[in-house]
Amino acid sequence: MKRMRASLILVAAAAFLAGGCSEVNSTIDKAQACLEAPKILQELGAEIARLRDDPQAMDKAIDDAAAKLNNLADKASNTTLKEATDNLAGELSKINVTTANEAVDAVQKVGSESAAYLEQIAKACS
C-alpha cells in the first residue's frame, strides 16, 4: 500500500510533466515553477518509498522537499503558484516521522497533499 501511494505520486508528477505547461506566459519564474514543482514531488515520492524503513531519513527527506518548495515559492511570480507551493511546503513541514507507524502515516499524507497540489498547479500552468 505504501509503495502504491508513492507510485501514485510518481505517476501524477510524470503525467503533469508530460503534459507540460500549455500556455506559459512570458514569466520565466512561472515556467520554472510549472516544471520544478512536480520534479520536487517526484523526487520526494521516490525518496519516501525508498526510506519507508528509516523514519528519521524519511523525516529529513520530507523537510528537504518542504525547503525546496519554500525556495520555489519565493521565486514564483504567479500568485496562484506561490500560494499553492507555500501551502504544500507548510503542510509537509508539519509532518514529523520518528516511528514506523508515523512513516506509514507520512506516506499517506504526502500522497494526498501532493495530489491536491499537482491538481492546483496543473490548472495554474494551463
**Per-residue model confidence as pLDDT tens digits over 3-52:** 545 444 554 555 444 444 444 443 446 778 889 999 999 999 999 999 99
Whether residue 23 is contained in a domain is answered as: no
Q: What is the mean pLDDT of residues 76-93?
A: 91
Q: CA–CA separation, 42 vs 98, rounded Å?
A: 23
Whether residue 60 is contained in a domain is answered as: yes
If phi > 0 it is left, if psi is from -120 to 50 it is alpha, else beta; for residue 25 that is beta
pLDDT at 78: 84
Whether residue 104 is contained in a domain is answered as: yes
Give me the sign of the Cα torsion angle 56, 60, 66, 70.
positive
pLDDT at 2: 52
Whether residue 70 is contained in a domain is answered as: yes
Whether residue 74 is contained in a domain is answered as: yes
Number of domains in the chain: 1
Domain of residue 64, residue span: 2-18+28-125
pTM of the model: 0.75
What's the 3-state SS for the chain?
A: CHHHHHHHHHHHHHHHHHHCCCCCCCCHHHHHHHHHHHHHHHHHHHHHHHCCCCHHHHHHHHHHHHHHHHHHHHHCCCHHHHHHHHHHHHHHHCCCCCCHHHHHHHHHHHHHHHHHHHHHHHHHHC
Whether residue 62 is contained in a domain is answered as: yes
Whether residue 54 is contained in a domain is answered as: yes
Whether residue 55 is contained in a domain is answered as: yes
